[in-house]
Amino acid sequence: MCYQLSDCVKNYICKRVSDTENYMRLKILAACVFFTFLEFHNGSAFGRPGIAIADTTDYYKTDYLRNDDFIYQKYIKSVVLSQVGFELADPVITLNTNERFLVGFDDLQGGFKQYYYRIQHCTSGWNKSELLLNEYLEGLEEEQVENYDPSFNTRMVYSHYGFTFPSDRFIIKKSGNYILSVFSRDAKGNEIMAFTRRFMVVDPRVTITAHIGRAGTSEDYDTKQEVDFSVNTMGTRIDAPYQDIKVVVLQNWRWDNALTNLKPYMVRNEILDYNFDNGTNLFDGGNEFRRFDLRSVKLISEKVRQITPNDTVFDVQLWESEKRTFKEYALDDDINGKFLLKTTDDGTVETSGEYALVKFFLPFEAPILEGNLYVAGGFNGWQYTPENKMEYNFRKKAYEASILFKQGYYNYMYVMLPNNAKTGDVTWVEGNHSETRNTYTILVYHRQKGELYDELIGTGNFESGK
């Protein structure tokens, strides 16, 4: 059956066909430009080398080595790096002393694997330094992880590994920033990176005094905290303090929101003054940390609603969380984002600690469009990964997450990571209060004229709200 088309309809169809043809031509032209660019970039166009353009795609792969606290394999859990005898201390030891680090981790694949570790000296900005290995380390490039124990009488089978360093055959010779890498090897000898951790070695030659208070600016007075401090060089020769000294300020050992570009406001003899009144040294006050106590899977503790055993783990349901964005500040005890592996049940946590799938539930009227929500804290190195990302449940109007934890005591926060950003924002869920008790760590680095590395010459921890 045929229909006679009007001139109007014919003109409309012709225009649409013409538009479609033009659109296809544009697509073909764009593709040609794109592939020509690729050829030029790879050096095959015009018979000359390509332009060097940074490729960041490898960063999102799990085999991309980061100078950061990061776990590369999903079967590696419960990584701890702490001072021997001080479980909640920062990962900092003093040069030329008997202080050592204790490292522990679990392999959920079970059985025995030979793990190794090595260290890399870094700049104050966590890039690889120019020092040669034998300039900062006396010993072999890598050491074997010697302590291995299988789990005992646990629902989930795992293997626990541990070691201490430095040692008599693994001596650190320079102060500064370091990356610890722990890895195994496959049958062909290829490295399989397990995790990396940051640590520091300090050679104390300056003293630091600090005062943490409310922000000096009126608009931030109720929500932000100001870190005013001074550095006494105590006779240490510093020729150009504005160029040779670098200072880093951390809040609760978070690196994503660290202040890293502070210059002295004033230099008076041996005193480097960092007392600003223009907002340079401000942090969001945040809120007291949320917490849950999982030291026992036999007893219900505060913040835990229900514990249910299953074949391989315990299912743990926490009580429903509450959005605190506009709530009044309330003083509460916490350990400022840290965690402690411990069991009050039978045995030691290293080999008898149970694993639990902890379920978080945060009512939220609508999903956040500006970014994603994460459960974050020291337990995961303040990393924003798929493992601790929350998903929005439209039916329940809430954010949910299920995360695997070993028995212990944990602090955490709900942190929003804005789209295309690397710094998390606690304001969306937790709110900001200038009264919040936070721990601030000040690190002072010095690069002497002619030297190839940044020395760490001073550290200090200071509490707000006291």
CA-nearest of 169, 148, 167 to 158 is 148
Cα-based distances in Å from 396 to 8, 53, 357, 449 = 52, 46, 20, 61
The dihedral through the CA atoms of 101, 230, 285, 374 has a sign that is: negative
325 close to 278: Cβ distance less than 8 angstroms: no
Residues of the chain with pLDDT under 70: 1-64
Helix H or strand E encompassing 30 = helix 7-42
Architecture of domain 67-202: Sandwich (2.60)
**CB-based burial, 137-156: b 16+ in 10 Å, e otherwise:** bebeeebebeebeebeebeb
* Encoded tokens for 404: 């695997």
N-term to C-term CA, the chain: 89
For the chain, the 3-state helix, strand and coil shares in percent, each to the nearest 5, are 15, 40, 45
pLDDT for 217 equals: 85
pLDDT for 63 equals: 54
* Encoded tokens for 398: 């809430």
Which amino acid, residue 18?
S
The answer for 465, left when phi > 0, alpha when psi is -120 to 50, beta otherwise, is left
* Encoded tokens for 47: 């018979």
pLDDT for 64 equals: 63
pLDDT for 401 equals: 98
Helix, strand, or coil (residue 335):
coil
- Full DSSP string of 131-169: --HHHHEEE-S-EE--EEEE--S-SS--EEEEEEESBTT
Q: Which residues contact 64 (CB under 8 A, 6 or more apart)?
A: 58
Helix H or strand E encompassing 37 = helix 7-42
Helix, strand, or coil (residue 260):
strand
Residue 192 CB neighbour total at 10 angstroms: 13
Helix H or strand E encompassing 171 = strand 170-172
Distance CA 424, CA 374 (A): 9
Strands ordered across the beta sheet of 304-309:
304-309, 314-318, 355-363, 398-406, 391-393
194 close to 115: Cβ distance less than 8 angstroms: yes
Helix H or strand E encompassing 128 = none
* Encoded tokens for 221: 């007075």
Distance CA 387, CA 366 (A): 22
Architecture of domain 207-285+439-463: Sandwich (2.60)
Query: What does the domain layout of the chain look like in residue ranges?
Result: 67-202, 207-285+439-463, 290-430
Residue 274 CB neighbour total at 10 angstroms: 22
Distance CA 428, CA 419 (A): 14
CA-nearest of 350, 317, 372, 311 to 156 is 311
Bond prior to 166 in cis (omega within 30° of 0) = yes
313 close to 360: Cβ distance less than 8 angstroms: no
pTM of the predicted structure, to 2 decimals? 0.84
Q: Which residues contact 44 (CB under 8 A, 6 or more apart)?
A: 50
Helix, strand, or coil (residue 269):
coil
Which amino acid, residue 319?
W
Distance CA 182, CA 116 (A): 6
Give 228: exposed, middle or buried? Use CB within 10 Å, 0-12, 13-18, 19+. Answer: middle
Same fold, 67-202 and 207-285+439-463: yes
